[in-house]
Amino acid sequence: MAEDFDLVVLGGGSGGIATARRAARYGAKVALIEAGRLGGTCVNVGCVPKKVMWHAAQLADALRDAPEYGFTAVSDAIRSVHNWALLVERRNAYVERLNGIYARNLENSHVALLHGHGRLCGAHQVAVGERRLRAGRILVATGGRPARLEIPGGERAIDSDGFFALAQCPQQVVVVGAGYIAVELAGVLQALGAQVALVVRGTRLLRHFDTMLGDALAEACKASGITLHFEAQPAAIEAHGGQLAVVLKQGGTLVADQVISAVGRTPNTADSGLETAGVALDTKGRIVVDEWQETSVAGIAALGDVTGQLDLTPVAIAAGRRWADRVFGGQAGRKMDYENVPSVVFSHPPIGSVGLSEAAARERFGAAVRVYTSRFKALYYGVLDHKVDTHMKLVCVGPEERVVGVHVIGAGADELLQGFAVAVRMGATKQDFDDTVAIHPTSAEELVTMA
């Protein structure tokens, strides 16, 4: 006999948990199904452990800079003073604490947690092992996973999940990819003492971001010692005397201890009963949803990475809460606004971006676009022999110069962007920026003093 619920959520990532708890707050009887660890990609093999590794890499950079600030040099070789295993141990312990917090939050919200693989049996039924659940509403938030590198020997490469399982920092690494995952992992490994080569199929990094950001990051990568191979594709990965050899289609071979594939992500839709239930998928296997997160089948909704809308944890959380507000909270107009969503790349240096790139703005608004740019060296580098430039861009539209894009790469970009994202969302103009008194001395002040 089926157990009755108001809502059944497939997937215990950030989006699924946020939706389940918000619906329960409105009095809905909710069940959440998850086969793995709570928290999904972000908590377990994504943003959270990645940010821990990024902080470690930032500390390594600070140690290199410390002598020029008057401190006794620790060592030129970061590897000799860094305990990778201890970092991993403490990082994993933190992640486990978060897993427990998620479980307690669900319990405190009176959400029934079922461990197992959920499979749709129709528009209103889900199977979990031998159990059958019936619900007026079903939400699919099963997330995504790393795409495979489909070449001979591709199984010899690890993916971003495998990066978090590394027991030690490799000496030599080849990273395949040009997106945010590729550049983040490359930056962390280089800073912690690896020799990194980045294999990029196209002509630039971060092709979905403003060109200024990708170009500036390429500059910074080269300066840090990362070798960039543009217009290069791996043809095969071969064993090479205890190491790995990446054979390039364009000719040449790169030898490394570890090869990391960061060639994109694919949705977790396999064996979920979606086709049986009649849920439409796109050509990449992602669930097709409308502006209200509803699928082609009444009663079944979806959000997060499984839909491919924007693969960002805060987006899945926001979309889920708004969906629950509308469906269970009586707020008829609530839905996720996918315009002007800020994003950060935890590269070296970090990147912050919100709104339209210059190219996208010109495509939409043509000659009405005006762009302001700045390139400078942050005060931190004033006493250092090596310098890393900060780049900023404001994209403005119309006679009132409404700011439709803010793009920054440089130290602190990750933290300064949030407030400017609020300004963009509220329709701030260049004059509003100019009329704001600067905070000195900071990098952020450049955004309100550009001429």
pLDDT tens-digit map of 227-266: 999 999 999 999 999 999 999 999 999 999 999 999 999 9
Which pLDDT band holds residue 75 (cuts at 50, 70, 90)? low
Catalytic residue among 110, 115, 117, 440: 440
* Domain 342-447 homologous superfamily, CATH: FAD/NAD-linked reductase, C-terminal dimerisation domain (3.30.390.30)
Ordered by start, the domain boundaries in the chain are 5-146+266-328, 154-263, 342-447
The domain over range 154-263 is classified in CATH as 3.50.50.60: yes
Residue type, 4: D
- Residue 79 is predicted with a pLDDT of 87
Give yes or no on whether 5-146+266-328 and 154-263 have one common fold. Answer: yes
pTM of the model: 0.96
Q: What tokens appear for 3 in the block?
A: 């157990």
407 catalytic per annotation: no
Instruction: Please provide the average confidence, as pLDDT, over all residues in the chain.
Output: 97
What is 5-146+266-328's CATH number, 3.30.450.20, 2.60.40.10, 3.40.50.410, 3.50.50.60? 3.50.50.60
pLDDT digit string, tens, across residues 365-382:
999 999 999 999 999 999
